[in-house]
Amino acid sequence: MKATIDLLKKHRTMELIDGEDFTVKLENSKTALVEISEKALGPVKEAILPLQTQEASNIKDRLRKFEIKVGEYRMKF
Amino acid sequence: MDATDQFLATYSDKSFLWEKTLEEDFEAFLDTGVDPREQKHVKINEDGEEEEDETFKWMSEKILDGVKTKQPSLDSFHEKITMLTGIKHEINEMKSSIDIGWLRVNSTPLIKELQNTIVLWIDTYINFLLDNTVKQIKNIENFINEVTSGITTLPKEAKTKQDKDLLMKVMGHLRDVKMIKDRTLD
């Protein structure tokens, strides 16, 4: 995108986007994306990890119980 | 006769402006490019084998929504726009009145029309790139806003269906961020 903006600037006086220069806008978006990524994959991920682990364990339990049930059903034949 | 041919020759390299249709020519130009959406994106996994790289698909759904991706390289755009701008300058410098023997040719209406046409051609190429860039930036902003609001409220436990739905929603946002962050803003 930066290369495209540089090319556009060579050929046209660029208008502003939401009152900001295109390159500045792109840089700000990049910073915001990095910040939200760090938050999401850092403290947020950490906060939900125990719940995720618990849920994974619950699903494994349900799966195991289902397998036992299928096994019992087969024994009847 | 020589003078007439000479006069006509000054317009010969601009004949595409009335012989070709802008829309068709532009579509043909775009068709010379490769669409990354139609390409296979692969990565090497831990076992050294090739496997599908899903990050492009995720990024394309969020960031390239509404963006036309089948296009030639930026160098091709630069070359084309530079060529058209050169023609525009040539048209601007054309004499509006020329004497061929006893005949005086007034080219003002023709030159005016060619100036309008060449500007349309240049704008089509530039606006394509501009529109695509604006859409991508807006899509990134929307994605950031979506994730920001999506991870504001976190589930405290996962006992009720409501809690589990919220947990799944947050996990979905984390997956999106993981998939997209390294693919975007290149």
Q: pLDDT tens for residues B103-140?
A: 898 989 999 999 999 999 999 999 999 999 999 999 99
DSSP A34-55: HHHHHHIIIIIHHHHHHHHHHH
Residue A8 contacts B, CB cutoff 8 Å: yes
Domain assignment present for residue B71? The answer is yes
Residue segments in chain B with a per-residue pLDDT below the cut of 70: 1, 184-186
Chain A hits for B78, CB-CB cut-off 8 Å, are 7, 10-11
pLDDT digits (tens, 9 = 90+) for B159-174: 888 989 999 999 999 9
Average confidence score pLDDT of chain B:
90
Domain assignment present for residue B112? The answer is yes
ipTM > 0.90 (yes/no): no
Q: Total domain count for chain B?
A: 1
Position A74 scores a pLDDT of: 92
Give mean pLDDT in consecutive 10-residue pieces for chain A, a chain of 77 residues: 89 78 87 92 93 91 95 90
Can you list the alpha helix ranges (DSSP code H) found in chain B? 2-12, 16-19, 22-31, 55-63, 74-92, 108-150, 161-180
Nearest chain A CA: its distance from B86 CA (Å): 12
pTM (whole model) above 0.90: no
For chain B, the residues whose C-beta falls within 8 A of a C-beta of chain A are 74, 77-78, 81-82, 85, 122, 126, 129-130, 132-134, 136-137, 140-141, 143-144, 147-148, 151, 154-155, 157-158, 164, 167, 170-171, 173-174, 177-178, 181, 184-186
Position B184 scores a pLDDT of: 67
Domain assignment present for residue B67? The answer is yes
Position B61 scores a pLDDT of: 86
Kindly list the domain boundaries of chain A, sorted by start residue.
Answer: 2-75
Nearest to B145 by CA among B166, B171, B173: B173
Domain assignment present for residue B169? The answer is no
The reply to whether residue A29 touches residue B185, judged by beta carbons under 8 angstroms, is yes
Range of the domain at B13: 2-151
Position A20 scores a pLDDT of: 82
Q: B154: Cβ–Cβ under 8 A, 6 or more apart, which residues?
A: A44, A47, A48, B166, B170
